[in-house]
Each structure stands twice: as structure tokens, then as C-alpha cells.
Amino acid sequence: MEELKPSLVGMTREELTVALGDRTDAKLRVKQIAGHLYSRAVDNFDEMRDLPQALREELKTSFQVQPLTVATHRTSQDGVDKLLVHNGDEEVYECVLLPYEDRVSCCISSQVGCPMGCKFCATGLGGFDRNLTSGEIVGQYLMLQRLTERRISHVVFMGMGEPLLNLKNVVKSLNLLHDEVGLSYRHLTISTVGLVPQIYELGELGLPIHLALSLHSPLDEVRNRLMPVNHKWPVAQVMQAMRDYHKATGRKITIEYLLIKGITDTPDQAHELARLVKGVPNVVNLIPFNWVDTEQGFARPERERVRTFRSILASKGVNTTERVERGHEIAAACGQLAGQHKGAFGLNQTRRKGISPLVTVP
């Protein structure tokens, strides 16, 4: 494969200044280029018409604007757009545009695949390829922004990958989304399976971003079966890290909780979950399991079981939401579309199974 040119998307203004060299008008041109990249989501040099033609041609020889190429674009009946993208190879990853009545959100990936190996997740079942660069991360937002005339105001790092394993590039992306795109840090959400050292590292940065923990059971014996990470950082340890994150940032924490019939949806776990979150501002986001095609035979609980679990939390004063499920017919579950795409090449198809990454954003 031909070596790819560096991408301007993903560069800070300081990096753009270096890229322009010793031009006397570098400060003006950097401001213009940053505006095209991040405010207007321009994806080619010809649209940067306020730049001199000679500069545009010069940039074309050394750089590309946007690192991503769309492999697949699907739109669901309920208005969800899902893109499967890559940067010139077959290492595909996913991002999703989620329009709501009061806002537009998007869900983006931080890695190609995921190494965490959670038993219920399509991405984890498909294995891990690599971390995404800041350009590939922010590029997802910009590609989705070009699909809608409404401004995307909320971003959730809940697509493929564990964001805290790619913390350097994720933090740079957060800063670009805030500093250049103009999004509020309070509208940016990172989801993690519970990497304790990285939770503390993120908290020390003092960014008022929202942190969501994929807990899925308050019991170590259950969580150990579902999530290998729990063997290293058990429930008590990761919940303490989340409480400390709240103290460091002032942000309430979100607990993502997958309801699997007969495994995580039992009344005793509802009571224990209520005890765990007591004393810290929080919201529990319940996610009824969507897909039954797993090696473990996981099943979605009946509606009555979901209501019982939620009512127990409510009786204990726990603020509870339930995931808005959308985009089923376009393989909106995280990793599904990538699995289908790779399957077309005779590669790993196990990413067809899993849970939806689409969330109720606080």
C-alpha cells in the first residue's frame, strides 16, 4: 500500500504552524486552515478558497486533509447514520450519527477492535488491531458533521475500543473538539470498562468531561465471568476510582449496566448496585441485552424483569435511565458492521454479535 501523507485533521494550531514552515503569513493561514478543518468540516483543499492557490497546491503535495475513507454508509429508518471507515487499509472502524429532537450526538471509536475481551461485546470478540490517531478520532466527528446541517453538540467515546488504553490520543482529541470545534467539555463522554490507573490519570487533568463506567454487575463473581478486567481491578477498587474522579472533576458519574437474563438482572444485584452508588451524584443507564447469538447463550430479559430491576433502584433513590435503542436494521451494535465488512474479505466475522453503543447522553 502506498504510504499515506500526514493528515491536517488531528493537528493543533501549533502543529499546523510547524507544517507551514517559515511563511511570514503563517499565523493568518493557520487560523484560516483551522477554521476550514474544524469549524466547517472541509475535507479537501479546493474548498479552502480563501487560501492562495499556490499554498493549496503546496499543501496537496505534502498533506491530506482528512485521513478517513468511507467503506460503508448505512441509514436506518429512525434516522441513525452509521459509517464504517478506514484510512486506506482494511482496518475498519465505526462511528454513528444520532439525531434527537433536542440535540445531535455522535458515537465514535478510539481503537480498531478492542483488547479487553468482554464476553458480551461484538468488538471485544473480534480482537484488537491498533490505536487510532487523534486525526482518525476527530476525523470521525467531522465526517459525521458533514452528513447533517444540524450541529453535533455531544460526543461519546463509546464505539469500538477502550478509550483509556489510548489516552494520549483521546485527550488530544478532546482538546481539539473543545478548542477548535467549539464543543463544551461537559458534552464529551468517555466510556471505560474500569482501568483504574487511567481513571486517576484522567481525573488529574481536571477536564470537566463525563466519565461512564461499564460496570454490568456489582458482584465480582459475576463481573469476573463477563469482563476479564475485573480480575485486575475488582468492583470495589474501580468504584472508588470513580468516586475519586467525581471529587476531582465535580462531574456526576454514569454507570452503564447491561441486563442479561438470569445473569445480571437479579434483584440481589439491583440492591447491591444501589448500595454501591450511594453517596455520589450518579445516573445508572440500563441496557437490556439486544442480541442472543453469543457462545454463552446470553438472552435479553423480559420486560417485567427490566421493570423489576429498575423499580428496585428507584425505591432506593437511584437516578435511572434506559438506553434509547436505535439503528437495529443497520447493524448499529458496536462492532457488528465491522464484522460484516471483514467477513466479506473472509476475515474475522465474530463482531456480528454484541450490544448497542447507542446511549442516553446526560
- What local confidence, expressed as pLDDT, does residue 293 receive? 57
CB 331 within 8 A of CB 354: no
**CB atoms near residue 2 (< 10 Å):** 5
Helix (H) or strand (E) holding 65: none
Q: Is 90 exceeded by the pLDDT of residue 11?
A: yes
Catalytic member of 95, 118, 121, 334: 334
Q: Is 334 a catalytic residue?
A: yes
CB 202 within 8 A of CB 110: no
Q: What's the chain's average pLDDT?
A: 89
- What local confidence, expressed as pLDDT, does residue 349 receive? 35
Mean pLDDT of 273-302: 87
Q: Is 201 a catalytic residue?
A: no
- What local confidence, expressed as pLDDT, does residue 271 receive? 98
Residue 265: left (phi > 0), alpha (psi -120 to 50), or beta? Answer: alpha
- What local confidence, expressed as pLDDT, does residue 172 receive? 98
B/e letters for 61-71, b = 16+ CB within 10 Å, e = fewer, are eebbbbbbeeb
pLDDT one-digit tens code per residue, 201-238: 999 999 999 999 999 999 999 999 999 999 999 999 99
- What local confidence, expressed as pLDDT, does residue 325 receive? 67
- What local confidence, expressed as pLDDT, does residue 331 receive? 52
pLDDT one-digit tens code per residue, 295-340: 778 999 999 999 999 999 999 999 999 976 655 554 544 444 444 4
pLDDT one-digit tens code per residue, 244-263: 999 999 999 999 999 999 99
Cα 297 to Cα 119, 211, 292, 313, 338, distances in angstroms: 11, 30, 6, 27, 22
pLDDT one-digit tens code per residue, 107-140: 999 999 999 999 888 777 778 889 999 999 999 9
Alpha helices in the chain, H assignment, sequence order: 13-20, 26-34, 53-62, 122-125, 134-145, 167-176, 196-205, 220-226, 235-249, 267-277, 303-315, 336-344
For the record, the C-alpha cell of 247 comes out as 471529587
Minimal CA–CA distance to 242: which of 287, 282, 269? 282
- What local confidence, expressed as pLDDT, does residue 88 receive? 83
Residue 291: which pLDDT band, with cuts at 50, 70 and 90? low
pLDDT one-digit tens code per residue, 40-77: 999 999 999 999 999 999 999 999 999 999 999 999 98
CB 4 within 8 A of CB 64: yes
The burial of 328, by beta-carbon neighbours within 10 Å (0-12 exposed, 13-18 middle, 19 or more buried), is given as: middle
| Top-ranked range on mean pLDDT: pick from 18-27, 186-195, 291-300, 320-329 | 186-195
Q: How far apart are CA 211 and CA 203, in angstroms?
A: 10
Catalytic member of 94, 162, 180, 256: 94
Mean pLDDT of 159-172: 97
Q: Is 90 exceeded by the pLDDT of residue 348?
A: no
Q: Which domains does the chain have, with CATH numbers?
A: 13-62 (no CATH), 71-352 (3.20.20.70)
- What local confidence, expressed as pLDDT, does residue 195 receive? 98
Percent of the chain past pLDDT 70, that is, above it, reads 88
For the chain, the straight-line distance linking the first and the last C-alpha, in angstroms and rounded, comes to 42
Amino acid at 179: D
Q: Is 50 exceeded by the pLDDT of residue 354?
A: no
326 contacts: CB under 8 Å, gap ≥ 6: 76, 78, 79, 80, 98, 332, 356, 358
Q: How many residues does the chain have?
A: 362
